[in-house]
Structure 1
Amino acid sequence: MGAPTLLRDDATLVSHAVTELARRTHFPLAFGGLEHDGAVHVSTIVGARTRSIEGLVVRAERGLGGRALVERRPRMTLDYRTARSITHDYDRAILGEGIATLFAVPVLVRGHARGVLYCGSWAQAPVGELEARPAFDVAGELGTELRVREEVDRRLSSMPVGDTGLSVGVREEIRESYAQLRSIAATVGDDDVRRRLEELESRLAALTGDAPRSGEDADIHLSRREIDVLACAAVGSTNGEIAASLHLRETTVKSYLASAMAKLDASTRHAAVARARRAGLLP
């Protein structure tokens, strides 16, 4: 059975993640893929000397990656050929590439393993915290992107089709999703990942169909953090809840709110939200 159509977009995310894995770690070889039909389908390979890994499909519980998938934790072997803690279903592919050290990191989305990223070396290479941390970071970033994509798609698919306007409930659902998305994006350090999350934010915000900015509204400019804070305030979050969501101090949240209110010429947070929506800065 072929890969679901949904995975075509996800394959692009995996390609970026594997490329980053090769760039950020000292390992000469990186590859990985997402899980579907009970197996990890390797879709991207960087640094291989041969073609033996191409098309590799790793079943759950089988091999190093299959164990990482079901155990939802990293697995590593310094000498793949002699490793006794894993099955050797994929020796033709792994040993055919000449891999000695292999490190497998699961990609987790809401606690579920959605894929596996691999780092490999043709010589035995110890893997300590310094070597492992970049791999954990890349897997975490991929998991975040997948989670956001799934949430946005879920919200979009639940919207009524063919309506000329949005109901109050649907509009509030969009605003809540937008606030959650900005909260997630605020924790992402990678600029390229953040840029793609911003594209999803724009896609979601556009669904409200509000009029484009014009007149004096076009002159209002808020910082990213000011919009983050206002987006959370717009769905009723308290300063403490906003601080926890955005990983900020409560005093910092108050400062961003005060700055946004001043720019929007609003005396309350509710008035600031309303003005920001009229200006097209919030959905």
Structure 2
Amino acid sequence: MSATVTLESEAELVANAVRELARRTRFPVAFGGLIEEGVVSVTSIVGARTRSLDGLRVRPERGLGGRAMIELRPRMTSDYGSSQQITHDYDVFVLGEGLRTLLALPIVVQGRSRGVLYAGAWNEEQIGGITTAPAMQVAQSVADELRIRDEVQRRLQAAPASDAVAPPQREELRESFAELRSIAASVDDADIRARIAQVERRLLTLAGDAVPATTGAIPTVHLSPRETDVLACAALGSTNAEIASQLGLREGTVKAYLGTAMSKLDASTRHAAVTRARRAGLLP
């Protein structure tokens, strides 16, 4: 069985983010890219008047974007040409486009810069919190997507290539599913949650192929997303307190979700609920 999953390319991911950055801020120009072999190659540009930004490659520590990547925080200037706070390695690109105001946003995944997004204007603009907040949200969305796909690819690549799946691999699939549910619970972006759901379905398919069929099918059961979140964590042996911490819920809320899931599955204990959920194809 194949353990691959179809995702948009990194270039498409950046292109979508750059378009969203331009849409959600007042800056007329936006561009960006991800790090490859230690250098950010700008792969997407919108709103530029010239082709001066074509071919821009940014190294960490160099220029405004390089500084943002090293410091792991946004950097900005309203007078790029005369700024004394940055190196001017890329003036031929930035000033060639005529940009004066520039905002650089690092894409930070687990404490490491993976790329940078820029928003710029030809005039001097005052950049405040109202302007930077939506820009930072765009960069964070890209970081969330990269973090999720990193984990998904790591987990799926570790999945066995044959139909004969040993118990340790089945447990790995179950841990993967529970971790994805936990990640989904912390992400607000609907598109990213939809991507996670696609991978969850893939994991359920892998587990369905791997786990021997059981007799005594149960009626169709529909669990809410939160009931599934809680039951997936319970399947790994987590206590109510541990589940609450993982999902950002109150312990009493976890107990309530478990109760409703058990009721729907006609199970008297959480362990029985997990078993019946697996038989129903709701958990790996």
TM-score by length of 1: 0.91
Q: Measured at CA, do residues 92 and 221 of structure 1 come closer, stay the same or move farther in structure 2, by a change above 3 Å?
A: same
Q: In 2, distance between residues paired with 1:39 and 1:18?
A: 18
Match of 2:42, SS state, is strand
Q: In 1, distance between residues paired with 2:219 and 2:192?
A: 28
Give the counterpart letter for 1:64 in structure 2.
Answer: L
Residue deviations 1:173-208 (CA, integer Å, cap 9, x gap)? 111111111111112112112112222222233221
Q: In 1, distance between residues paired with 2:244 and 2:260?
A: 16
Tell me how far 1:218 sits from its aligned partner.
Answer: 6.0
1:238 and 2:239 are equivalent in the alignment: yes
Quote the residue 2:4 is aligned against: none
Quote the residue 2:13 is aligned against: 13
Match of 1:226, SS state, is helix
RMSD: 2.2
Q: In 1, distance between residues paired with 2:146 and 2:241?
A: 28
Quote the residue 1:70 is aligned against: 70
Tell me how far 1:8 sits from its aligned partner.
Answer: 7.5
Give the counterpart letter for 2:164 in structure 1.
Answer: G
Quote the residue 1:192 is aligned against: 191
In the alignment, structure 2 segments of 5+ residues that lack a partner are: 1-6
Tell me how far 1:149 sits from its aligned partner.
Answer: 0.8
Match of 2:19, SS state, is helix
Residue deviations 1:241-260 (CA, integer Å, cap 9, x gap)? 21122111111111111111
Tell me how far 1:277 sits from its aligned partner.
Answer: 0.8
Q: Identity over the aligned pairs, expressed in percent?
A: 59
What does residue range 96-175 of structure 1 map to in structure 2 within 5 Å? 96-161=96-161, 163-175=162-174
Match of 1:32, SS state, is strand
Q: Measured at CA, do residues 8 and 263 of structure 1 come closer, stay the same or move farther in structure 2, by a change above 3 Å?
A: closer
Quote the residue 1:254 is aligned against: 255
Q: In 2, distance between residues paired with 1:64 and 1:114?
A: 15
Tell me how far 1:166 sits from its aligned partner.
Answer: 1.2
Q: Measured at CA, do residues 192 and 159 of structure 1 come closer, stay the same or move farther in structure 2, by a change above 3 Å?
A: closer
Residue deviations 1:68-103 (CA, integer Å, cap 9, x gap)? 112222111111111111111111211122211111
Q: In 2, distance between residues paired with 1:11 and 1:97?
A: 22
Contact 2:159 / 2:173 at 8 angstroms: preserved in 1? no
Quote the residue 1:225 is aligned against: 226
Contact 1:145 / 1:197 at 8 angstroms: preserved in 2? no
Q: In 1, distance between residues paired with 2:218 and 2:16?
A: 37
Match of 1:219, SS state, is coil
Residue deviations 1:140-175 (CA, integer Å, cap 9, x gap)? 2211111111111112222333x2221111111111
Tell me how far 1:217 sits from its aligned partner.
Answer: 4.4
Match of 1:209, SS state, is helix
Give the counterpart letter for 1:246 in structure 2.
Answer: L
Contact 1:152 / 1:204 at 8 angstroms: preserved in 2? no
Q: Measured at CA, do residues 217 and 46 of structure 1 come closer, stay the same or move farther in structure 2, by a change above 3 Å?
A: farther
Q: In 2, distance between residues paired with 1:196 and 1:145?
A: 9
Q: In 1, distance between residues paired with 2:87 and 2:59?
A: 11
Contact 2:220 / 2:280 at 8 angstroms: preserved in 1? no
TM-score by length of 2: 0.90
Q: Measured at CA, do residues 276 and 21 of structure 1 come closer, stay the same or move farther in structure 2, by a change above 3 Å?
A: same
Q: In 2, distance between residues paired with 1:258 and 1:79?
A: 59
Quote the residue 2:177 is aligned against: 178
Quote the residue 1:4 is aligned against: none
Match of 1:27, SS state, is coil
Residue deviations 1:207-249 (CA, integer Å, cap 9, x gap)? 213489xx96462111111111111111122212211221111
Contact 1:183 / 1:246 at 8 angstroms: preserved in 2? yes
Quote the residue 1:86 is aligned against: 86
Does 108-117 or 8-17 show the bigger shift?
Answer: 8-17
